[in-house]
Amino acid sequence: MKIAVYPGTFDPVTLGHIDVIRRAKNICEKLYVAVAKSSRKKTLFCFEERFDMLKKVMGNEKDIVVDSFEGLTVNYCLSLNACAIVRGLRAVSDFEYEFQLALTNRKLNERVETIFLMPSEQFTYLSSSMIKEIARLDGDISPFVPKEFVEMIKQRCRNAG
C-alpha cells in the first residue's frame, strides 16, 4: 500500500490545506495528515485544538488518517512505512524553503520522497498567517476556512490582539 504523509501545524486548518489533502489522496492509497505536536512556531491554537479541527473536517474521509507526530518527519514516515511526504506549494516564495527541506529530508532518508502539490488557483495566495491577520482586523475569513471554525478563529484572534 502506498502511504503518504502530509505534515503541518495547521494553525488553523484552511480550505487550502483541505484542497491539498484531497489532491494528495488522489495519488496514494492512504494519507496520514500529521499535526506537529511541537513546533518552533508560536501557534494561536494549542495542539489539541489543531488536531480536533482537522479531525472534525477530515475524520470521516476514507483512507485519510488524522494523526500527530513529534520529531523528524522522515522518522515518522518510516514508522508508518510511508514512501512520501506531501508539501503544498502556493507561490515561488515557498519554493526555496520547501526545496531545502526536501533535500535535507532526502539526505536523512533517501527512501522517503517529497511530493509538491499546488493548491487550486483560488487558494494559491492563502496562508494561516494571512487568515489570522484578517480575523484579527475583523475581516471576513469565511471564504478561507471551514465554516464550523469561523467564529472560533475570529474570537481567538481578537483575544490574542
Q: What is the pLDDT of residues 101-144, one digit of tens each?
A: 899 999 999 999 999 998 888 888 888 889 999 999 999 999 99
The mean pLDDT value for 32-58 works out to: 91
Q: pLDDT tens for residues 69-101? A: 999 999 999 999 999 999 988 877 778 888 998
Query: Is 90 in the active site?
Result: yes
Q: pLDDT category, 159, cuts 50, 70, 90? A: confident
Known active-site residue 39: no
Does 7 have pLDDT greater than 90?
yes
Dist. CA 101–CA 103, nearest whole Å: 6
Confidence grade of residue 38 (pLDDT, cut at 50, 70, 90): confident
Instruction: Give me the pLDDT at residue 45, please.
Output: 93
Whether 55 shows a pLDDT value over 90: the answer reads: yes
- CATH fold of 3-121: Rossmann fold (3.40.50)
Radius of gyration of the chain (CA): 15
Choose, from 90, 106, 136, 156, the residue flagged as catalytic: 90
**Annotation marks residue 154 as catalytic:** no
Does the annotation count 93 as an active-site position? no
CA distance 78 to 113: 11
Mean pLDDT of the chain, nearest integer? 91
Long-range contacts of 108-111 (CB under 8 A, 24+ apart): 108/72, 108/74, 109/74, 109/75, 109/77, 109/78, 111/78, 111/83
pLDDT digits (tens, 9 = 90+) for 99-110: 998 999 999 999
The reported pTM is: 0.92
The residue from 50, 68, 87, 128 that is catalytic is 128
Catalytic residue among 2, 38, 41, 120: 41
Q: pLDDT grade, residue 39 (50/70/90)? A: low
Q: Where are the domains of the chain?
A: 3-121
Q: What is the mean pLDDT of residues 14-18?
A: 94
